Structure 1
């Protein structure tokens, strides 16, 4: 388990979404509960959790020198870092998984949504809400982040702990830090080296073996899929038991997700998005789409450019973003995203992800409220 010491440190759109989600209730409730340029040739791994073609890095000069630099910078034991890195494995599966889709692949919001807003995940979310109602209410009260958003993130990330990843984190981060795919659109190896450094710091704080942690192909850890640096910065002790466990303690997971969003600008009481009809004029539409998901225009500026917000959106105070979601060969979908929509994209920089989180959370909430009503009337 992942432990470390304490650190200091309703709009009309919403009601409409909940109403739509109620249509799922009956069906849901009926469900059963590359080669290495190294000074020494890597040795074939004796064992691998993920792929037969994984190879150990051995004492590759680049890694050993990097370990020495990190140890000096962070006050760590250089020998221990070098020994751990020598046992890390190059994972071709990680290189394949991190690669972007082939050029020309069409994005499809409807297909993406269907992966997450579906009966099995909704039913699991309702059960998670039932088991953790108090922790969700406490986190919402403390940070202003709605329970539905917290539940949506955990559901999209790991299906409520069912899919937390089976790659050794050190393998994933070393592979992406030192052998990032050459055919990628941009080199992100520096980011993953920073996360590998954070992994060693985290391991020291917890007194654990850095080889023991497992996670996603990108090195994300636990139920909320935090990267190592995010654990160090944003994870909190939700139940005040003196430790933080992001694998097995939902109270810590819930509190940490809420704290993360609060730190990235979540505004208490603000909705995430509004319905919008896009401008007819291509130029006006292009202007509003230029900042992408960053809220940059007032409701008045939307109107000036010919974008028609829904009734709730017309009264919004603060900047908005015109968010476009492609639907393959069909017409795109659009929403007007608020600061809170943008905050969710800081968890995963994708408007598709953010809207899936929101809609999954609302669907779970709808079933949860329906079940509560049924219980209360019996």
Structure 2
């Protein structure tokens, strides 16, 4: 167990941890010996490296000890590279099955039902949040429900254990180093008690699931007790979510998007936030709102973007810049679509996707990564071979299909994986 001593708090910063120590760690074969060695290296890193930067940022020894004094590395966390190893144990997670987009919406009913109930219970707070930040209450409720089950989800981890372990051992050390330092600042300057800082396995905090840097920038005291308590206060949680979106550029008065019918003459390769045009122009191309309803007049001059998460095998949408503010919260297209769809249902009733999610081939993420590398080799920008079919991958598939004289589906399948190997 680590604890910063008086002598350590005054010790000059060592230049480097010895390479020989890391080599020794690599040579220790037994798991128990490896864990003990990692514990020693971790304690040395805390005292000789992290403490010095924390001290330079104005963190006191008392705060450092209170937050990290009892912390040991948690080697059960994912994405860790142990000393002497060059990659995470288990390798890159490309073997998991690539999920059909429809699977993402299986739990939307619970978010909608909870959102409707809590919209009534917290109506006054939600109205005040909406007035101040310009973010619709349905959006705030949908994010609250998606992130933490409206505060009911288990948040099982000690945040300092997670953040410090990842700052020392993960593949994204620099990012988590900033986060653990921000967490120390939360204790030093914002009055958050270390023992209350519960997080996910990824270090996300409280009901909005903010990383510490986001807490420092966006967490709000909305209940007037001089503390931004995103663990226990509903007003603080709701306002903090809205403040995050508003600070990222949420456009008050605009919708997030609309389900549409994309005619065969409009290519699915036009998808993406870099191919926007006024919604009136999309309408002139034959893109119509599902159900025959007109687009709101105030939206026609605003920029819209085609979004087809399952290509031609599922619903299509024209989304606004606000859709990408939801992606600032979580970069997944499907996350943003889930939030927007749930918000509409919370506020306006039992809206369902009109177009069906068609069956798709069962592929692994390794299959998708293989497909992505093959498209890269042919000059397509797929956004990286990560095993996830984002919009760049989807439209690259469509462009290759069009070049090959095939109908463009803009979605991966077994035939494509085989033909592009």
Does the TM-score normalized on the shorter chain lie above 0.5?
yes
Runs of 5+ consecutive residues of structure 1 not aligned to the other structure: 1-35, 46-52, 181-186, 369-378
- Partners of 2:53 and 2:24 lie apart in 1 by 20
- Partners of 2:329 and 2:23 lie apart in 1 by 35
Normalised by the length of structure 1, the TM-score is 0.70
Partner residue, 2:140: 150
Q: Which has the higher contact order (CA 8 A, sep 6+)?
A: 1
- Partners of 2:36 and 2:252 lie apart in 1 by 47
Partner residue, 1:243: 227
Normalised by the length of structure 2, the TM-score is 0.64
Partner residue, 1:108: 100
**1:351 aligned onto 2:341:** no
Matches within 5 A, 1:1-378: 37=22, 57-58=39-40, 60=42, 61-77=44-60, 81=64, 84-85=67-68, 87-95=70-78, 101-103=93-95, 105-115=97-107, 117-118=108-109, 120-180=110-170, 187-210=171-194, 212-278=196-262, 280=264, 284-286=267-269, 288-289=270-271, 292-293=272-273, 296-299=276-279, 302=282, 308-310=287-289, 311-312=294-295, 316-326=300-310, 331-366=313-348
1:271–1:338 Cα contact (<8 Å) kept = yes
SS at structure 2 position matched to 1:275: strand
Structure with the greater alpha carbon radius of gyration: 2
Task: Return the offset for 1:193.
Answer: 1.6
1:168–1:215 Cα contact (<8 Å) kept = yes
Change (3 A) 1:232 1:147: same
Change (3 A) 1:84 1:344: same
- Partners of 2:183 and 2:23 lie apart in 1 by 23
Task: Return the offset for 1:209.
Answer: 4.7
Partner residue, 1:17: none
1:167–1:216 Cα contact (<8 Å) kept = yes
SS at structure 1 position matched to 2:106: helix
In the comparison of the two structures, how many residue pairs are matched?
Answer: 310
- Partners of 1:126 and 1:91 lie apart in 2 by 39
Runs of 5+ consecutive residues of structure 2 not aligned to the other structure: 1-20, 81-87, 351-421
SS at structure 2 position matched to 1:321: strand
